[in-house]
Homo-oligomer: A and B are copies of this chain.
């Protein structure tokens, strides 16, 4: 593995982005955010990458923003930092490849936002999630954007107003986490989930992810309009024709890309 705040690796079609600055509790510093953005741009173009896992090393998954970058600074610096953070989060959503957060420990503030932004979250039994900005006077308003789109408003408000961490199991019940697994099986289970997903056509995964996030904020009739168009295009695509024929012929499909 390379060095730097975010390490990039590819294993069997799965890009592994590792937050690798444990001494700084994997803070999403400007440098780390820029590194994430660059990696995500590379991944978007990489034909050999079909899915992404975001993980971390050290005692914390991510502590969120580096508070040193938020004191005694100028308005313009804060503005560009929060814009950069949103850019990274939106890049994860726009990436036409599934992104899985592999959370082994505390994911807090923008670190919780990062997990909430990924398409899926696999958490160790030891993982916890918090939005404690209120305690340092800086309400977790941007993390709240991602959090309140993953869990109900009462749970989001409780996390935002109290700052108290919730356990992986609570996060699962609330809808923030897909699966809770024993700590020693976290890496294996996350990779297994990624492998299962990328057995599908990369074309189909990309079309489906994009359409999902497009339709989800529309009212239902407009959501159906968008979704129907996508279904027609998807049906006409070679991978869908091959996939459905393979199903009808009871054989394995051969994806085109």
Known A142-B224, A244-B136, A244-B138: A78·B150 in contact at CB below 8 Å = no
| Distance, CA A163 to CA B245, complexed state (A) | 18
Q: Is A5 an interface residue (CB 8 A)?
A: no
Q: Is A201 an interface residue (CB 8 A)?
A: yes
Partner among B67, B215, B239 whose Cβ is within 8 Å of the Cβ of A141: B215
CB-CB under 8 A from A240, the residues of chain B are 70, 136-138
Report which residue of A120, A162, A224, A246 has the largest number of chain B beta carbons within 10 angstroms of its beta carbon. Answer: A224
Partner among B134, B154, B209, B217 whose Cβ is within 8 Å of the Cβ of A175: B154
**Nearest B residue (CB) for A197:** B161
Partner among B72, B157, B248, B255 whose Cβ is within 8 Å of the Cβ of A212: B157
Instruction: Count A interface residues, CB 8 Å.
Output: 97
Q: Is the CB of A154 within 8 A of B150?
A: yes
CB-CB under 8 A from A149, the residues of chain B are 153, 220
| Distance, CA A134 to CA B196, complexed state (A) | 11
CB-CB under 8 A from A247, the residues of chain B are 67, 135-136
Distance of A70 from chain B, by nearest CB (Å): 5
Q: Is A219 an interface residue (CB 8 A)?
A: yes
Hey, what's the 0/1 contact readout for A152-170 against B, CB within 8 Å counting as 1?
A: 1111111011111000000
Q: Is A126 an interface residue (CB 8 A)?
A: no
Hey, what's the 0/1 contact readout for A36-57 against B, CB within 8 Å counting as 1?
A: 0000000000000000000000
Q: Is A111 an interface residue (CB 8 A)?
A: no
Question: Which residues of chain A from 69 to 109 have any CB-CB distance to chain B below 8 Å in the complex?
Answer: 70-73, 75, 78-79, 82-83, 86, 89-90, 93, 98
Q: Is the CB of B248 within 8 A of A67?
A: yes
Q: Is the CB of B227 within 8 A of A142?
A: yes
CB-CB under 8 A from A79, the residues of chain B are 228, 232
Q: Which residues of A contact B (CB under 8 A)?
A: 67-68, 70-73, 75, 78-79, 82-83, 86, 89-90, 93, 98, 119-121, 133-142, 144-145, 148-158, 160-164, 173-178, 193, 196-197, 199-201, 203-205, 207-209, 211-213, 215-217, 219-221, 223-224, 227-228, 230-232, 234-237, 239-248, 253, 255
